[in-house]
Chains A and B, each alone.
Chain A
Amino acid sequence: MFQIISDGGCDFSTAETQAFNVQVVPFYISFDGNTHLKEGIDITREEYFSRLASDKKLFPKTAQPSPQDYIDAYTPHLKAGRDILSVTISSKLSGSHNSAVLAANMLRDEFPQRRLVVLDSQSASIGQGLILKEIAKMKKAGFSLEKTADLAERVLKTTRVYFTLDSLEYLRRGGRVGPTTAFVGGILGLRPILHLEDGQVSHLDNVRGKKNAMRLISEALTHTLRDDAQNVNICIGHILKEDDAVIFKYDTETSLGITIDNEVAEIGAAIGTHTGPGGLAFAYCKKFESIVRQENRGHIQPAAHSLEAESA
């Protein structure tokens, strides 16, 4: 058996970490550059975003878990004879992946009989969460660590994450849009739509007005998924917009004719620092079962295992 470990980029709730048996290594949040709070432990997501919303001048920073944090998380499982599959937020968004790889390399000498795989999710937040949920399902189905890691690599290639935000302000602060664009966009009521592309946050488009944005997103999502909705795992997330997220989930279920199993998720600081408070997110990926079915039908050639360098 193996243990699934993730960094806090997955935005799992406490209930989800228990339900999927995933251990989370939290990110650090600092408002002043001196005090570092562990997300989800020293400060809740709601507290974090409420502070952000109430103080417009606040520009917090997040810091990745250190290699020591990963060593502390990995060691008890290795000592107990369990292998580890560790999933991190995109290495293009954070140094968390590097910390995890460093920790794994240090522990391999100490536990040469154990296998330790570190996987770059190339995603974040609810996208990373979906990958973890698929991994948890594979584990439950009795897949080996190697097979799970191999399939997880395919799942992550099908993972898409999109966000729509209430304003362009935080994109301006992060240098993703210029001051004039943010100012004029604010006057015109433009809502940016972002996506995770190649592991990075990119600005996809702007849509005018909240109602219009929700309508266009819903149309596009239905158009994209309607032919394959049964084979897709979907998750809806929000930043202090739970009511909107619940309505969006219901609308998506109705338009696609499916039930979304995942509860509406709260987006955490790793992505929220880029976006600020107020926004909606959704992510989808192929269910691992559909990938296996395709593979069995010969539509997918088994991939060469690319994790060799990282696995013991």
Chain B
Amino acid sequence: MNTWFIVAQILGVITICFEFASYQIKDKPKYFLATGIGSFFWTLMFVAIGLATDMSTQYSLIVAATYSTVRNLVFHRIFSKNTPQSKEAGLNFLLVMICVAVIAGVFTVMNAPPEVRWLHIIGLIAALSFVIGQYLPGVHYVRITVVIYAVVVMLTQTPLNILYGDFRWNVTGILIELAKIVSVVIFYYRFASEPRRPELNFAKP
């Protein structure tokens, strides 16, 4: 087994840890920091896989993962500062990123084989919903949209390229997506068994 492939799996395990932890966190800035660090290791994992196999097959994934890393860390910054100026700058950044993602997504859909185009369209919608869900207030939107996104990623990206009939068996890649889903399920299990706390906090008189 190629050393870079082993490195990729180790980086994947680190990603799993951060991704799993991030969906247990209610505090938004901390969530973005955890998932941002996770995305960073995710990017490195794709680079390692590229070095292990063929870098040209990984470019789009490396770009997508870098995009996630930057987006999450910028969101971390704006939610931490929490000023009208930082929110405005963050939202402008988000809109630019969404535009870029839509353009890239449209090209991906157009270049996909016609029989799987519908799935890529779902992927594009899921990805955009997830990014918007991350920005929306509260803890629920991001968790609902990430599950849909994770399922679509498993179907369309490297881990389980089912529709092409081409199992690449990047086990860690599958586990990363599964970790997000399991983490969300555990979060809701904890959320249901914990005494409910209001989402808004008002000061005591």
| Complex alpha-carbon distance, A36 and B202, angstroms | 37
Do A220 and B201 form a contact, CB below 8 Å, given A181-B91, A190-B137, A208-B137? Answer: yes
Contact: B137 with A205, CB < 8 Å?
yes
> Chain A contacts of B199 at CB under 8 A?
216, 219-220
Contacts of A170-210 to chain B: CB distance below 8 A:
175-181, 184, 188, 190, 193, 195, 203-208
Contact: B203 with A178, CB < 8 Å?
no
Q: A162 interface residue, CB < 8 Å from B? A: yes
| Complex alpha-carbon distance, A175 and B137, angstroms | 21
Contact: A184 with B91, CB < 8 Å?
yes
Partner of A225, one of B84, B87, B95, B205: B205
> Chain A contacts of B91 at CB under 8 A?
178, 180-181, 184
Please classify the interface of chain B as helix (H, G, I), strand (E, B), loop, or mixed, using the class held by over half of its residues: loop
| Complex alpha-carbon distance, A220 and B205, angstroms | 13
> Chain B contacts of A224 at CB under 8 A?
201-204
> Chain B contacts of A159 at CB under 8 A?
205
Partner of A160, one of B85, B138, B200, B205: B205
Contacts of A112-152 to chain B: CB distance below 8 A:
none
> Chain B contacts of A205 at CB under 8 A?
137, 200
> Chain A contacts of B87 at CB under 8 A?
177-178, 181
Q: Bin the interface of chain A by size.
A: 35 or more
Query: What per-residue 1/0 map shows which CB atoms of A212-225 lie under 8 Å from chain B?
Result: 00001101111111
Contact: B205 with A284, CB < 8 Å?
yes
> Chain A contacts of B137 at CB under 8 A?
190, 205-208
| Complex alpha-carbon distance, A284 and B203, angstroms | 10
Q: B88 interface residue, CB < 8 Å from A? A: yes
> Chain B contacts of A220 at CB under 8 A?
198-202
| Complex alpha-carbon distance, A11 and B197, angstroms | 33
> Chain A contacts of B198 at CB under 8 A?
216, 219-220, 222-223
Q: B116 interface residue, CB < 8 Å from A? A: no
| Complex alpha-carbon distance, A220 and B204, angstroms | 11
User: B132, B199, B202: which has the most chain A beta carbons within 10 Å?
Assistant: B202
Contact: A162 with B84, CB < 8 Å?
no
Q: B6 interface residue, CB < 8 Å from A? A: no
- Distance in Å from the Cβ of A300 to the closest Cβ of chain B? 14
Q: A89 interface residue, CB < 8 Å from B? A: no
User: A158, A184, A285: which has the most chain B beta carbons within 10 Å?
Assistant: A184
> Which 4 A-B pairs give the minimum distances between C-beta atoms?
A178-B88, A220-B200, A220-B198, A158-B205
List 10 other contacts, CB 8 Å, given A208-B137, A216-B200: A177-B87, A178-B91, A180-B91, A180-B95, A181-B87, A181-B88, A195-B202, A220-B199, A220-B201, A223-B197
15 CB contacts below 8 A, A to B, read A178-B87, A180-B92, A181-B91, A188-B132, A190-B137, A195-B203, A204-B200, A205-B137, A216-B198, A217-B200, A219-B199, A220-B201, A223-B198, A224-B203, A224-B204
